[in-house]
Structure 1
Amino acid sequence: MQASEPTLSERAAAAADAGNLLEAIKQVREETGLGLKEAKDLVDAYLRLGHSPSPSTTAASSAEMPVAALLALKNGVLIEAIQHYRNHNRCGLKDAKEAVERYLDANPLAKQQFQAAAKANGKPFLNVLLALVILGLIAAGYWYVTGQTL
């Protein structure tokens, strides 16, 4: 091992190799007292040197995804799913967004359900608007026929 090569403890290296980067960074911070950015840079440098996360564990599984986030995805609300993931895993917005996107990419059926629900969520506004226009026309017709004014 070269002197410039980053060294991680066994626990941090195992977490990084398993694809659990948040846990690896947490371990580095606890063991070294480094700041968040420095710990993240150390883990990233470790991974750049040929230590890559296991592909099977890189994608967020449903076990890692909180139930509230899964329900939000099923309802087509991506922002809410990201928020639930952030709160559950105590991570940053970017990490949560990437984890939710990895989950969707790794689970085609969940992605298909999410897309269908998200598409359907855009229609209620149009339905309400159409209902208001129809009610307005009915009211205008009633007032016109009865001769009543406002």
Structure 2
Amino acid sequence: MSAAGRDFPPEARAALDAGRLIEAIKIVRETHGLGLAEAKAWVEAEREAPGTAAPAAGRSDDELPAAARAALAGGRVIDAIKIVRTERGLGLKAAKELVDRHVARSGTPIGHAAPGERQSALVWLLLLAVLVAGGAWVIFGG
């Protein structure tokens, strides 16, 4: 039994012992429902020190990476899905479903910044207005 309370699948152990790393990763993913990166890390650690490695714990399966949440706040749904696919090792359908669940659960419409993020945009707009006014003064009023 691993530290996270999960057994390394015997079929994956057999594949690993036979030098079939990809097959072992696939078995671990299917058996425990892990993402590609997590399964790969567990299999590689198991190959180095059998019985001592465990899959990553402490993360909710519905939790989006910070970069994906930022992309959603900026209205970039496709970017958020790409980030989830890359970081979680999911297929397109699973990544989209995860992003959709996050949007439905959070209640924040796509493209709306979380509190505190909007203030930054206001500062940039104010700076742009000052620069435009200063440029106009130099060109026309100098």
Category of TM-score, reference length = shorter chain: 0.3 to 0.5
Of the two, which has the highest radius of gyration? 1
Q: TM-score, normalised by structure 2?
A: 0.39
Name the structure with the higher helix share.
1
Q: TM-score, normalised by structure 1?
A: 0.37
